[in-house]
A and B are shown apart, each in its own frame.
Chain A
Amino acid sequence: MHHIEIRSLSKSFRNVIALDGLNIKIGKGSLFGLLGPNGAGKTTLLKILATLINPDNGEIYINNINLRKDPRTIRELIGYVAQDIALDKVLTGRELLDFQADLYHMNKIKKYERIDSLINQLEMNDWIDRKCGTYSGGMKRRIDLAAGLLHIPQILILDEPTVGLDIESREIIWKLMTNLRNQGMTIILSSHYLDEIDKLADCVAIINNGKVIDQGSPTDLKNKLGGDRISLKVREFSNNEESETIKEILSKIDGISQIVVNISQGYSLNFIADREKDLLNKLKVELAFAKFEIFSLTQSQPSLDDVYLQATGNTLQDAEIFMTGKRDFRKESKESMR
Chain B
Amino acid sequence: MELQKYNIFFLYQETFALTKRLFIQLKRRPSTLFAGILQPIIWLFLFGALFTNAPKNFLPGVDSYGSFLGAGLIVFTAFSGALNSGLPLMFDREFGFLNRLLVAPLTSRLSIVLSSFIYITILSLVQSIVIMIMTFLLGYGLPDLLGLGIVFLTLILLVLFVTSISLSLAFVLPGHIELIALIFVINLPLLFSSTALAPISFMPNWLGWIASVNPLTLAIEPIRVAYSSNIDLNLIALEAPYGDLTCKNCISSLFLLTILSLIIIRPLLNKKLN
Contacts and interface: CB of A to CB of B under 8 A. Distances in A.
Contacts of A102: 13-14, 16-17
Interface in B1-58: 10, 13-14, 16-18, 20-21, 24-25, 28-29
B105 A104 contact: yes
B102 A103 contact: no
Contact of B24 (A52, A75, A87, A91): A91
Interface string A96-124: 00111011110000000000000000000
B93 interface: yes
A4 interface: no
Interface in B92-128: 93-107
Interface residues of A, number: 29
Contacts, number: 74
Nearest to B102: A52
Contacts of A80: 103
A291 B274 CA distance: 67
Contact of A72 (B17, B24, B99, B105): B105
A274 interface: no
A283 to B, nearest CB: 53
Given A75-B105, A86-B95, A100-B104, A91 B21 contact: yes
A80 B94 CA distance: 18
Contacts of B102: 51-52, 338
A213 B144 CA distance: 76
A99 B21 contact: yes
16 contacts: A75-B104, A75-B105, A82-B96, A84-B96, A86-B97, A88-B21, A90-B25, A90-B28, A91-B21, A98-B17, A99-B20, A100-B104, A103-B104, A105-B10, A105-B13, A338-B102
Given A102-B17, A103-B100, A147-B100, 15 more contacts: A51-B102, A72-B105, A86-B97, A87-B97, A99-B17, A99-B21, A100-B104, A103-B14, A103-B18, A105-B10, A105-B13, A334-B174, A337-B93, A337-B175, A338-B93
